[in-house]
Structure 1
């Protein structure tokens, strides 16, 4: 009797917190808090103490399972909505984050062509030094 009273009080307190959260226009959080607060009520209604004897034929127990199912459905729905919003880049505040390097994940053009291209012929040693000399002259050295 005491455990049922405590679970019911916890559920009522959780639903009150969910109402305050919904009043603050945070509906996903409010739905999640409401779902978590319905779990103790569902456990009380299922009669967890007398599990084996009363579960099969008790309409209250089946109603408790319905409440637990509703809580699970609310949790999974809010999670799915959050994942969907995160995939689109939409946050709760309305500002859209921009990518730091938008072209970083794009494949490079011609990556496969470079592997198939023939190797350039080796240059004589004079040509290699001429490139270095040109760079040094450009910088005034």
Structure 2
């Protein structure tokens, strides 16, 4: 009953503010305020407010939420400990291969028939060469 009264009062106040805003010839803003102020009354009329207050003021519901949170924390903790203790995927695969429980090994890929391109050795770059490029750019821009 109290929640319904509060929602009705909020809606009435919102409609009053919308009327004042419309009086100042800001019709778009007044329409928006009126729309928002009708929401609490609509929630009361649909019964949603009664349902929410029934949930909020029941200790059993809060105990249930607490148990859900505890379950989530326990699951997250065990996941973190499991990940920390087992190592990386590569280490796990190596351990499985060592114990013989790994799936059958895949045949290696055939060697490529073309030769890989060899890049010519780059000449040694000295710090002076690096700064000469920068100096040329700065001179180009007049700095």
Larger radius of gyration: 2
TM-score (norm 2): 0.35
